[in-house]
Each structure stands twice: as structure tokens, then as C-alpha cells.
Amino acid sequence: MRLLASLLVAVVFTVPPVLPGLAAASADCSAASGSDFDGDGTDDVAVGDPSADLAGAGGAGAVHVLFGRGAGGTVVSAPEPGAGDGFGWSVKLTHLDADRCADLLIGAPYADVAGERDAGAVYAVYGGAQRRTVRVVAPRPEPDAHFGWSLASGGTLVAVGAPYEDADGVADAGSVYLFEAGGLGGARRISQDSAGVSGNSEVGDMFGWSVAIGRLGGVAEEADLVVGAPYENDDGVGRQNGEGKTDSGSIAVLFDVRNSQGRYTGRKWDLHEIVDTDAGDRFGYAMAYAQEGDVGYLAVSAPLGDGGRVKDSGLVTLFQASSTAEITPAGTFDQGAEGAPGEGYGFSLALTAEGGVRLAVGVPFDGPDQRGGVWVIPVGDPGQARLAAQGGAGDHVGWAVGFSGNRLVTGAPDKGTPGALTLLGRNDATGIPLAPGAGQVPLIDGGGSVDFGAAVG
């Protein structure tokens, strides 16, 4: 499989899962916090383990929900795990119903659907006392489409990326599906050939590799959609293939998508509109969104961009918008002269508005031994950026990053056999290391973890 598409190094995941029963939830969700899955009043963390082995099904995948500061947790798997499904490739704690408990979206982009190999599926696992699981697939499953590769949500609107779908008859052009949480069975498909979407479906664009939902300059209080296409060529206007700067990447911002079911409005950004660009920059590879007051912030990475004039070291562009101002670039971050080619600055991204807007940037191939690291940048004072996490040789710290309440979550899926995670409070120097079987983090019943920390949400 093309896996992470020849980005920096070849890191191979297997894929296996197991489904131990969910731990007992609190009686109701009245005390639940923003990302509180079990209703006990503390924020939780969802950790993808997409290569986990479940009862002999290699690579079926699993998701670990860690309660509070790692004081216990539960393992979630597909109701019918399949070898190689990659359940947990993408994860997101969100709110899909009216109770205060968080719900869980899980991508399994290598799941077979209706006889179509690797068509992909998404699972919605509802938190709280009455837990149930709903499986969501594309209306017309396509082999090797990898539906569920990326996930985003905003209110009750859910976006699912299928970047390998042969959209509009074009190989690997990619598409995105929109669902309303109240009716997960009815999907709306968007490609670059949808009416009003800037650009064209071209071979290998991977439209839908990353997705984000937020308020980015459309009608106030309505959801806007951002779609990353990091393998699109910067080749001018019109349908072209193999021309221009290959794989430079782009993003498409679509305004008011909930109400724009016939024709979309929005705009497209190529990286050359912001900084100097080159072939292979991969702009749109990762994205993150947060909102503070009336201002929405969107971070978009180009992990092979020439940050700080160092070729292929990576960079991140921050956009912002408000109810009175449409989305516009607001700044670019990189490692400056300290960056090195292939370190992958921006391989993963996370944003939080809690206690001031902060951006976390994963650099999983940092250092000559690829130990990795995570930079935390206060958006209001970028000069206070700090390297918040580093690992040991080959750990790939920063493969995945996230925020849970006031805590930074960093994944290191290649640390030891099972992988590892670190939780860092705002002022923590070292953080809390977590791994399956260590402390109160449960093991997979009848199976084993392989890349715990490959995704966080």
C-alpha cells in the first residue's frame, strides 16, 4: 500500500484489532467536559493503534480511550474486526448528539466494504451510559478509495476524506463526504469537479488527504470546509497532468457547506501565493483548526517545504478569519536555520484556544537518529516557541499531536514494541509517559499493540 505516500521515510504499519467491552460509564453526562467520553467530568484522550493485532486478525486496529491523566482507560475496536482494516488510522473526539459526553469518530481506511477491497469505513462510537456504534461507508464503495483516511467535525457536521478515490473517473483524484450527525447514513460527495470548487480532479491529487471544519469567513455561525490536496501539481488553470511543480499541494476553502448543496463558493490556495514553493512541498498535508472568540485559526503544513530557506525542512502557514473578515494568511512558521532536510516539520498539527491560541507542530524525523520532537508555539507571541517533547533514537515523537483540555498529547508509535504517548500539562517539563500495559493503560484483550500513538484525537 502507498501508506504515507513516500513522504520522508518508509515506515510500515501492519494492522490488527480487538474489542474488549467498554468500561462502565457514569450514569449520565451532566458533569461531562468538552472531550469527556465516559462522563466523569475530566477530559479524555483517544489514541489510534491502527496496526494492532486483535484475536489473530493482524492489523485490524484498535483505539485506546485514556481517562483523565491516564488513570485508566478502555479499548475500542470494530464490532467485526477484519485483518488489515487499520481501525484507528484517524480518530477524533467530538459531539454527535445532544448529551454532554464526547463521542468518538474512528477511521478504518483499509476496511473491505461490500466486497470492495480497502474501500474504507468510519465508525461513530457514542459516549456516555448508552454507548452504541454506527458504521458509515461511502454510498458507492470503491476499491482502494481509503474512505476514512481523514476526519473532521464541526457541530453536527462531519467530513470524511477518501483521497485515493478515483473521483470523476480520474485515478486517485480524491473526494470528501459530508454527513450530518443526526443522519449518518446520508452522505454528500464533494470533489474538485463539483460545481463551484476551484481546481480540477487530476491524477494523484489526493483531494481529501486532510480535512478541517471551522468558521473561516463565510456566513457567520455557519460551517466552512477546508480540504487539503498535498499531491496536486502547481500547474496553472485547467485540467493538466504531470506538468508544472509536481506535488506542491494546495487547499480548497468552501464556505457555508451545509447550505451549499447545489453550487459551492470559496477559494483555493497554492503555496506559491504565500511563500516561494517548489515541487514536492506537500502543502495541505496536515491541518488543524481552533477558534478564540470571533476569530478562527487554521494551520496548514507543507512538511517538505523549504522552511527557513533550508530545502525540504518543512513549514506551517497560519490563516485566520472572523465574522467580518474572510480567511487570509497571517504568518508562517519553520525551524529557521536549525531545520534540516527531511525532518518533517508539520507532519502533524494541533491547535487549541484554551488559555490562548497555541499551535503544536510535530517533527517526527527530527535529529540524525529520527527521535522526533514537538514544537509548541503561542500564536500571540511566537518568540516564546519551545521544543516541548523529544524522544529516543527512532521513536518518531510527534508522528501525531493533539490537545486535550490544557494538555499537549504527543504520539511516538515506534517507541518500543507497542508505541507510546506522552501527556504534558501547560507547564510540565517532562510529562506523563503512557503505553499499553504500563500503569493503568489497559492491554488489548487477546491481541497486542503495534503502533499505539499513531493517531490522537
Contacts of 423 by beta carbon, 8 Å cutoff, 6+ apart: 45, 69, 70, 404, 407, 408, 409, 431, 432, 434
pLDDT at 13: 26
Fold category of 45-456 in CATH: Methylamine Dehydrogenase; Chain H (2.130.10)
- Please give the C-alpha separations between residue 109 and each of 76, 149, 209, 242, in angstroms, as whole numbers: 16, 5, 12, 27
pLDDT at 236: 66
- Bridge-based pairing of strands 287-292 and 157-162 is unpaired
312 grid coordinates: 525540504
pLDDT at 142: 97
pLDDT at 21: 32
Residues β-bridged to residue 49: 62
Residues of the chain with pLDDT under 70: 1-27, 70, 129-130, 182-185, 236-243
pLDDT at 184: 63
pTM (two decimals) = 0.92
Cβ contact 179:136 at 8 Å: yes
pLDDT at 27: 41
pLDDT at 431: 87
DSSP string, 393-420: TT--BTSEEEEETTEEEEEETTSTTTBE
pLDDT at 340: 96
Cβ contact 261:290 at 8 Å: no
CA distance 212 to 214: 7
pLDDT at 181: 80
Burial profile 35-71: b = 16 or more Cβ within 10 angstroms, e = fewer: bbbbbbebbbbbbbbbbbbbeebbbbbbbbbbbbbbe
